[in-house]
Amino acid sequence: MINTVDFITPPVDDPYWFGQISAANSISDVYSMGGKPLTALNVVMFPAKHLDMGILREILRGGNDKVVEAGACLVGGHSVDDNEPKYGLCVNGVVHPDRIITNAGAQPGDALILTKPLGSGVLFNATRAGKFSLKELEKSVLPVLAALNGPAMDKALAYDLHACTDVTGFGLLGHLVEMAVGAGVHPIIDFAGLPFYDGAQAMYAKGQSTGSNKANRALVARYPLILERTLSKSQEELLYDPQTSGGLMLALPKEQASQLLADLYAAGIGLAAKIGEIAAGKPGVTVR
């Protein structure tokens, strides 16, 4: 049995999108361990005296629709009157004890595949600041964030998957460091192969950032970070950008990576990319 609890404050103003993305983000914790979600409980904090209850209804509708899409059942929940709306799920799932996937099993010689682009954190903030088009966010970013990671994991489990994590608030480098420390290995990332949302680098170049980049940088700074190529300030910030409902980072034997990518593309996960490999060495990260 897997039990996870995750909730977020609104990354978008539209309550239905918010509900979908929050639910997909919560359910992803079960998928990333190779599990199947079974039940979910709503976890809600909402300023009922200050916001229309119709907003809460749309948030919950979005969450429920995503739970149903995942093949799970929404069985209740808990609400608290709070100053700021927050929403997520407590998700219960199952996985065979001999088939649990963790973020600590990567092996030298593995390839790394990422199933969703990076850069959503800065785009959310830029949209709030009026620097990035809401229309473009709704068209090219929100549908990807609301997409469940279950189909990607279903494809990955057909291979010799050694490790997995979903890339969320710690950013790409933060989650790579977790994987490196857990397995005692050294990931090597190909910057040119990283998928980014259109406009993300431009927003950093214009001075936009997030409240988490600094903390993510401090987390990574405890371990060796080797930059074998020159990155601009905006390119470097993308590596620390916090994700909401980000993709899966999968580690599997490099000879199996091309076929898994083909399977992901055939399943409609067209933004997946091979982003690097796992090498032996002191935990840390190299960016080429």
Tell me whether residue 78 is in a domain: yes
CB 52 within 8 A of CB 95: no
Tell me whether residue 105 is in a domain: no
Pair 84, 24 in one domain = yes
Task: Please tell me whether residue 102 adopts helix, strand or coil conformation.
Answer: coil
Last residue of a domain, one of 78, 99, 120: 99
**Model pTM score:** 0.94
Pair 87, 118 in one domain = no
Segment 250-255 shows an average pLDDT of 98
- Is the pLDDT at 141 greater than 60? The verdict is yes
CB 27 within 8 A of CB 66: yes
Tell me whether residue 129 is in a domain: yes
d(CA 277, CA 148): 25
Pair 145, 278 in one domain = yes
Pair 126, 247 in one domain = yes
- In this predicted structure, what is the pLDDT of residue 13? 79
Task: Please tell me whether residue 115 adopts helix, strand or coil conformation.
Answer: coil
- Which residue type is seen at 83? N
Pair 94, 175 in one domain = no
Pair 38, 153 in one domain = no
The pair of structure tokens assigned to 86 is 């927050």
For residue range 182-236, what is the model confidence (pLDDT) as tens digits? 999 999 999 999 999 999 999 999 999 999 999 999 999 999 999 999 999 999 9
Segment 110-133 shows an average pLDDT of 96
- In this predicted structure, what is the pLDDT of residue 9? 63
Specify whether the backbone of 105 is left (phi greater than 0), alpha (psi in -120 to 50) or beta.
alpha
Tell me whether residue 104 is in a domain: no
Last residue of a domain, one of 99, 127, 158: 99
* Domain at 93, CATH number: 3.30.1330.10
Pair 63, 147 in one domain = no
Pair 63, 124 in one domain = no
d(CA 268, CA 271): 9
- In this predicted structure, what is the pLDDT of residue 129? 94
d(CA 150, CA 237): 29
d(CA 95, CA 20): 24
For residue range 2-28, what is the model confidence (pLDDT) as tens digits? 667 666 665 677 999 999 999 999 999
CB 172 within 8 A of CB 217: no
- In this predicted structure, what is the pLDDT of residue 8? 65
* Domain at 190, CATH number: 3.90.650.10
Pair 226, 252 in one domain = yes
The domain total for the chain is 2
Return the residue matching tokens 């214009």. 206
Last residue of a domain, one of 69, 99, 129: 99
Virtual torsion, Cα 98, 147, 243, 178, nearest 10 deg: 10
Domain of residue 235, residue span: 110-287
Tell me whether residue 132 is in a domain: yes
- In this predicted structure, what is the pLDDT of residue 12? 73
For residue range 56-103, what is the model confidence (pLDDT) as tens digits? 999 999 999 999 999 999 999 999 999 888 999 999 999 999 999 999
Segment 99-112 shows an average pLDDT of 97
Tell me whether residue 61 is in a domain: yes
